Amino acid sequence: MTLYARTVRPVLFRLGGGDAETAHERTLRVLARLPRARRAHSPSGARRTVFGIDFPNPVGLAAGMDKDGRALGAWPRLGFGFVEVGTVTRHAQPGNERPRLFRFPEQEAIVNRMGFNNAGAEALAARLRALGPLPVPLGISLGKSKVTPLTGAVEDYVHSFRQLYGLGSYFAVNVSSPNTPGLRELQDKAHLSALLGALRSESQALGGTVPILVKVAPDLTDAALGDLLDVCLGLGVAGLIATNTTIERPGVSTAEAGGLSGRPLAPRALEVVRFVAKESGLPVIGVGGITRPVDAQRMLDAGAALVQLYTGFIYHGPGLVRGAVAATRSM
């Protein structure tokens, strides 16, 4: 058992009477006070170039951990080779009612129904401008505001994209969270074509240099994934993020609604990464169920170019980050 697991995790898991979101908030506040990292963790053989971006190492922090970019100066210090903020929406929103974040330690899993709680795209843009460049690439995950009907989704995403353009290394289009009503409908061919077409046009109007990625759900069938990939290829998407959380409950017995992440998601996440990498030929960021360094290497073996951590980081701490970097180095 690591030092983090023996000493830090038990304290975190007791905060707020065991409330997972309380621990999350207090952790962010502590990390936000750390001195800002000036250099990236980039041991020999770790560097990658993907989507035309130089990554000091292939292990990133997934969206959802630091939605509003409050602790951006700290993540590179913990070993992450890139960071993805968000999911951010056009309008600030509180998210769903609490409690909305639940741990399942025996399965190293989490169920969340956060609902894109964030301060909005304008607030994130202001914070990123004040912060300035990071020593690692920054991704920005975009989602739909809950108050915006599906018919207004395209303008909602485009508005956020416009607000944040020039502040991120890449943009991730999140159409796969299970926690915003109707959002996953945007993965179907007609909706996704309209959305990606509008974002491409806006990108071209603004300079057209930033990579746009699409984040997919693990619950899509191969046929639905194939349709999604056809749209992505036809509209010049730079890559995929596979996968988001799942509405299935493999190995976890709970009535809590929301998306499941962590170790039980690993087999399906690997299947989706393998499928989308083979069928599209696009670079893939693999995320889902990485709780050991070897899991990160398995993602790369399945076809991922980069990986991201979230739930595994909560259970195993910074040691998992550096362990995953070491496991994925090309010698």
Residues taking part in catalysis: 177
Is 289 known to sit in a ligand binding site? yes
Is 189 known to sit in a ligand binding site? no
* Alpha-carbon distance values, 63 to 24, 69, 148, 309 (Å): 14, 10, 21, 9
Q: Mention every residue, 6+ apart, whose C-beta is less than 8 A from residue 257.
A: 111, 113
Query: What is the rounded CA–CA span in Å between residue 58 and residue 86?
Result: 19
Is 118 known to sit in a ligand binding site? no
Is 311 known to sit in a ligand binding site? yes
Is 141 known to sit in a ligand binding site? yes
Is 215 known to sit in a ligand binding site? yes
CB 76 within 8 A of CB 66: no
Is 219 known to sit in a ligand binding site? no
Is 115 known to sit in a ligand binding site? yes
- DSSP per residue over 75-111, as a string? GGGGT-SEEEEEEE-SS-B--SPSP-EEEEGGGTEEE
Beta strands in 105-219 (DSSP E): 109-112, 138-142, 170-174, 212-216
> Which amino acid does the sequence have at 284?
V
Is 281 known to sit in a ligand binding site? no
Is 64 known to sit in a ligand binding site? yes
Is 80 known to sit in a ligand binding site? no
**Pairing outcome for strands 259-262 and 284-287:** unpaired
Query: What is the rounded CA–CA span in Å between residue 317 and residue 2?
Result: 9
Is 65 known to sit in a ligand binding site? yes
Q: How many CB atoms lie within 10 A of CB 116?
A: 25
Annotated binding-site residues read 63-67, 87, 112-116, 141, 174, 179, 215, 243-245, 262, 289, 310-311
Annotated binding-site residues for FMN read 63-67, 87, 141, 174, 215, 243, 262, 289, 310-311
Annotated binding-site residues for substrate read 67, 112-116, 174, 179, 244-245
